[in-house]
Structure 1
Amino acid sequence: MTEEVARRAPGASGSRAPAHRVVAARLLRELPPAALREVAGVTDWAGPVDLPLVDERTVQAGCGIAHVHGRAAGAPRPLAVEYAATVAGVLTAQGVCAALLARRRGLALRRVTTSVAQAALLSLTQYLAAATAPDGRAEEHPPGSATLVSADGVPVEIETLAPDAWRAFWRRLGVPAALAGRGWAPFQRRFATGVCPLPEPLRSAARAVPLAGLAEAAALAGLSLVALADDPDPAGLPAPLRLRRAPAHGAAPLPPAGGPLPLAGLRVVEATNRVQGPLAGHVLRLLGAEVLRIEPPGGDPMRGLPPLSGDCSARFAALNAGKSAVEADLSTEAGRRTATELAAGADVFLHNWPPGRAERLGLDAPDLWRARPELVYAAASGFGDAFGHDSPPIGTDYLAQAHAGLAAALRPADEPPTPSLMTLTDVLGGVLSAHGVVAALLRRATTGRGARVDSSLLSAAALVPRPAGRAVWTPLDLPLRTADGWLALPARAAADRLPELARISGALTHSAGTVAARFAARPSEAWRAALAEAGIPAVPVATDLAALPGHPAFHAALAPAPPGGHARPRTPWTFS
């Protein structure tokens, strides 16, 4: 299967293979057939979630993705790509590699199971933690997206992590500093909250300037800016992973398994921040690895991000609980020596630094291989080397979605291309980086040699299957407003079951819009029961993440919040 076919194969483009199968096959295709016969990887839609989840649409609705993605619009909205199934495909490949690795370390594993629903819940880890933290429900924000529109009608995205650059950009557009400052907080926190209610005068100022003027203002202020195109599948996107072997310095096989989990007895040292890198370490810890974080003096500043769970940020704890930490100033020789010494005693060194930083610090793969030749060195960045070294964009989720075409792919054709304010590529990038680590450890178990694994937010975004053209939806493809909530139908319901839907709803015509409007007349459960009698599975749309851990359907998939703590997804694999 070619790269192009593999990326376009799943259901979003009309073929019969769901994304989780195609993505898993793509990531496992370099393994010899004999190895793949050793372990069975099994993935279904619902897994332990006791709801009629039968496809991507119902998983997104029932597990909360539609809710988080839809916050910016003020109502639940599905993603028009098979995102949860893509995450599940990576988890499937990762589970197979982990089981094979465990077999080579003495564990008799032959089967690994996961599900698209568990992948969806894993992707919502930090949102679930925030919602179930003791003061999480206080986080209520009005809707709004961060997309700006130029005077010539071009939607654009801007990105910066520096408040001075933010103020400089708006000053060049004639916005007073005090007014620009009112927009900084919602912009800075947009991925945590899922919304970006910018003051209207900022949007108006952008609409008064053509694209060329906005680009010039961004360049002078030091912001990244990208114009959003309608193309959901741009050319030139990178392969998901790049794996290179370390120089041969004699074989150093992995030690026997140190427990029942595949990575038990292995040590990971991570120097990461934000979401992508910490999530990669979190996934490796779920597989049994011991994970040690290197944090700056005073600790990671994300530890104080509200809402709090005890004395720590719930979002931070969701991705870093169970890890140990040491503080080291990597700008100093002593700090770099500490990092090198820690790597010398580890099996994996993981970071998500911008390209070039590892070399400047003297902590690149060749540097650490001198201390530990069999080390697996994992570098997870924003864009890798896709833009070379000439002022690459700021390596954040938002810009990765824009450059990868996801901003267009995840919206239907009648909506302007706009990135989601859910951390899509951060999560997928973290899971993909962790898969690369496990695949490299499996190679080490065979060859005794270390490796370098490169991935990026852009390469993760490129892994999401999408059609050649943007999706076309009817009103029945959106969550249906009922008398007491929202209900979601499977993706093919509008095309395959419209006459039955018209009959059940009492609509006088076979118009999707008329049928959809009829659902407001009765409660969700009444409609769900009537649809089930006709063999049409319908799922209540989750619109309150805080309520999910207490819902009987999620008992086996979510661990409830302990006193003063937050809820979390249970591990997404079962090994046997």
Structure 2
Amino acid sequence: MTGSVPHNEAAVAGRVAARALDLADAPRAGRPPYEIDWAGPVDLPLAEERAVQAACGLMHVHGRAAGRPTPLAVDYASAVAGVLAAQGALAVLIARARGLALHGVRTSVAQAALLTVAQYLAAATADDGSPEPLEPGDCSWTTSDGVLFEFETLDPHRWQDFWRLLGAPSADISRGWLPFQQRFATATCPLPLALHEAVAQASFRTVRQAAGRAGISVVTVREDPFPPMGIRPWTRAPFPERAAGRVRPAVERPLDGLRVVESTRRVQGPLAGHVLRLLGAQVMRVEPPGGDPMRGIPPMAGTCSARFSALNADKTVAEIDLTTDAGRREVHDLVARADVFLHNWAPGKAAQLRLDADDLRRTRPGLVYAWASGWGDALGPRPPVGTDYLVQARSGLAAALRPADELPVPSLMTLTDVLGGLVSAQGVLAALLTRIHTGYGGRVDSSLLSAAAVIPRRRRRVEWTPLDHPLRTADGYLALGPGARARPERVARLTGPGASADLATTLLRFRLRPTGHWSPLLREAGLTATPVCTDLRDLPRAPAFRRALARAEHVFPRTPWEFT
């Protein structure tokens, strides 16, 4: 059945995939079958979002800032799986049109989850020695008048100016920059207490004035978890020129023979190119003279940053100075032989460089020109810095991630960066399919904000009981399944007499025995529970992940699609 999922149904992922294909104008009559199950090649009994988050490291990475594994209160891995399934279905349609006999595609929520932690997995398993220190610490800010806000700057001088204006001690300002700068890479941000105290003593008006003078972006946290209405994951506008006729190449993968030129940095743009490369495209990165500075950020995998390698391995590189006329001519030369140009530059930079869609499509009729931005055009021509953290705060995702009794603090895991890259790649695939059928290229615009809206949300923030949090055992944590979370008295009976009347006693008794003691007892009682990954280095050591992960100079997830 088209769009089918197995009996072990990942229903949220299926709905996300169906909507994504509808937006891509993929005809329902000829839509390839796509299957989304929970575990895929991961040999574990996973049957819900919470179990996948526990087993595949999402709880661990999201919870680093708090110092304990913490569930995401949204179906994030399922949403990513739905986007992957839609990508796979579009890739099948492209492959068929290019002469490759493909029928359908399979993916899983577990494979989606592993893809979302790929950078963290690479850093944890890099072959350069000792693991990174990951001291807990968050990056949330509340003013003296009770305003919860987030801020962003990529410039250390602006960082210093902001904190000096708030009266923070100079030594603490300096010590805070590195953890702040690296918070998305490490998913934790242990800042000096004096910085939090400086904000707590200032009004929001004072903070906003200091931010304006220092030149940094400040947004208040949206407490409504529901996403703004009317935001599409991506938009597509056709160009008026038809592509020149091309010889149809022999293909083994859906995008074999297609060329992508990308000028991207950090996560969102490189991940979009990574997805297209996994599907067979040849991807050429345009980097500044001397290479992307991110290549040298530890931990290292051989001669390259492990995190950088996780998103950019097997891409070719052209070092070009885009600020010169000669450099821009080189880009035009590359684009003249390309099918896709992809960038995630700041607003206005493409026009400033004279490398906007109108500039490049004259060089390459039929080009697919993709811009992966932070905010799109939602906040006008001069939006705040478009980073993952600010988008989570402004979009309501931060509120949706956490239960109602917690502050709506964004996750330090790169949630919208990852999904933003996937959504950008999805838009490119839809545009490539349209070009095959019509001969016209086009422009694809997506953003972190539009990606955040892909994640299904409730109208109100969820309410959790203590059993919704992973249970601490003598040697780790257990994430209870839905039946156990709903029946605390049955869980309590497993711990011995007297506990059923006191949930706090139940939780304490779980700490007296190891995970291996409690798991079979829960199973015998007909209750499911999943051991929580608390160290990403454990994943490649576990036989259950043997078919889902591979190793080069670091561990990486295998391709998340199986085409049939």
CA distance in 1, matches of 2:318, 2:24: 36
Partner of 2:236: 243
Residues 175-214 of structure 1 mapped to structure 2, 5 A cutoff? 175-214=168-207
Partner of 2:3: none
Q: Note the alpha carbon deviations across 1:82-127, whole angstroms, 9 max, x for none.
A: 1111111100000000011100101111110000000000001110
**Retained in 2: the 8 A contact 1:474–1:513?**
no
CA RMSD of aligned residues (A): 1.7
- Pick aligned residue for 1:352 from 344, 349, 352: 344
Partner of 1:456: 447
**Retained in 2: the 8 A contact 1:251–1:447?**
no
Kindly state the Cα deviation for residue 29 of structure 1 after the two structures are TM-superposed.
Answer: 1.1
- Pick aligned residue for 2:37 from 44, 53, 68: 44
Q: TM-score, normalised by structure 1?
A: 0.93
**Retained in 2: the 8 A contact 1:294–1:325?**
yes
Partner of 1:571: 559
Partner of 1:400: 391
- Pick aligned residue for 2:434 from 439, 443, 446: 443
Partner of 2:522: 531
CA distance in 1, matches of 2:472, 2:530: 12
Partner of 1:265: 257
Report the AA paired with residue 46 of structure 2: L
Report the AA paired with residue 567 of structure 1: V
Q: Note the alpha carbon deviations across 1:435-473, whole angstroms, 9 max, x for none.
A: 111111111111111011100011101111111111111
- Pick aligned residue for 1:493 from 480, 484, 497: 484
CA distance in 2, matches of 1:521, 1:180: 42
**Retained in 2: the 8 A contact 1:151–1:209?**
yes
Partner of 2:141: 148
Using the aligned pairs only, state the percent identity.
59
- Quick one: structure 1 residues 414 and 170, their matched pair in 2 at CA, closer, same or farther if it must change by over 3 Å? same
- Pick aligned residue for 2:495 from 500, 505, 508: 505
Report the AA paired with residue 400 of structure 1: V
**Retained in 1: the 8 A contact 2:306–2:554?**
yes
Question: Is structure 2 residue 510 aligned with structure 1 residue 522?
Answer: no
- Quick one: structure 1 residues 136 and 386, their matched pair in 2 at CA, closer, same or farther if it must change by over 3 Å? farther
**Retained in 2: the 8 A contact 1:130–1:136?**
no
- Quick one: structure 1 residues 148 and 554, their matched pair in 2 at CA, closer, same or farther if it must change by over 3 Å? same
Residues 201-240 of structure 1 mapped to structure 2, 5 A cutoff? 201-236=194-229, 238-240=231-233
Q: Note the alpha carbon deviations across 1:323-351, whole angstroms, 9 max, x for none.
A: 00001111111111111111111010000
Partner of 2:425: 434
| Greater shift in the superposed pair: 27-36 or 380-389 | 27-36
Kindly state the Cα deviation for residue 156 of structure 1 after the two structures are TM-superposed.
Answer: 1.6
Report the AA paired with residue 371 of structure 1: T
Kindly state the Cα deviation for residue 154 of structure 1 after the two structures are TM-superposed.
Answer: 2.2
Kindly state the Cα deviation for residue 407 of structure 1 after the two structures are TM-superposed.
Answer: 1.0
Kindly state the Cα deviation for residue 21 of structure 1 after the two structures are TM-superposed.
Answer: 1.3
Partner of 1:4: none
Kindly state the Cα deviation for residue 195 of structure 1 after the two structures are TM-superposed.
Answer: 0.8
- Pick aligned residue for 2:289 from 297, 301, 307: 297
- Quick one: structure 1 residues 492 and 330, their matched pair in 2 at CA, closer, same or farther if it must change by over 3 Å? farther
Kindly state the Cα deviation for residue 498 of structure 1 after the two structures are TM-superposed.
Answer: 3.0
**Retained in 1: the 8 A contact 2:484–2:528?**
no
- Pick aligned residue for 1:374 from 366, 378, 381: 366
Gaps of at least 5 residues in structure 2 are: 1-8
**Retained in 1: the 8 A contact 2:227–2:453?**
no
Kindly state the Cα deviation for residue 165 of structure 1 after the two structures are TM-superposed.
Answer: 0.7
**Retained in 2: the 8 A contact 1:237–1:459?**
no
Question: Is structure 2 residue 259 aligned with structure 1 residue 274?
Answer: no
SS in 2 for 1:549: coil
SS in 2 for 1:292: strand
SS in 2 for 1:246: strand
- Quick one: structure 1 residues 523 and 80, their matched pair in 2 at CA, closer, same or farther if it must change by over 3 Å? same
SS in 1 for 2:440: coil
Question: Is structure 2 residue 325 aligned with structure 1 residue 333?
Answer: yes
CA distance in 2, matches of 1:38, 1:210: 55
Report the AA paired with residue 227 of structure 1: T
**Retained in 1: the 8 A contact 2:128–2:302?**
no
Report the AA paired with residue 385 of structure 2: I
Give the count of matched residue pairs: 555
- Quick one: structure 1 residues 234 and 464, their matched pair in 2 at CA, closer, same or farther if it must change by over 3 Å? closer
Report the AA paired with residue 418 of structure 2: V
SS in 1 for 2:432: helix
Question: Is structure 2 residue 70 aligned with structure 1 residue 85?
Answer: no
**Retained in 1: the 8 A contact 2:92–2:105?**
yes
CA distance in 1, matches of 2:107, 2:212: 45
Kindly state the Cα deviation for residue 306 of structure 1 after the two structures are TM-superposed.
Answer: 0.3
- Pick aligned residue for 1:556 from 543, 547, 555: 547
Residues 56-71 of structure 1 mapped to structure 2, 5 A cutoff? 56-71=49-64
Report the AA paired with residue 348 of structure 2: G
**Retained in 1: the 8 A contact 2:483–2:528?**
no
- Quick one: structure 1 residues 225 and 522, their matched pair in 2 at CA, closer, same or farther if it must change by over 3 Å? same
Kindly state the Cα deviation for residue 255 of structure 1 after the two structures are TM-superposed.
Answer: 4.8
Kindly state the Cα deviation for residue 409 of structure 1 after the two structures are TM-superposed.
Answer: 0.6
- Quick one: structure 1 residues 502 and 262, their matched pair in 2 at CA, closer, same or farther if it must change by over 3 Å? same
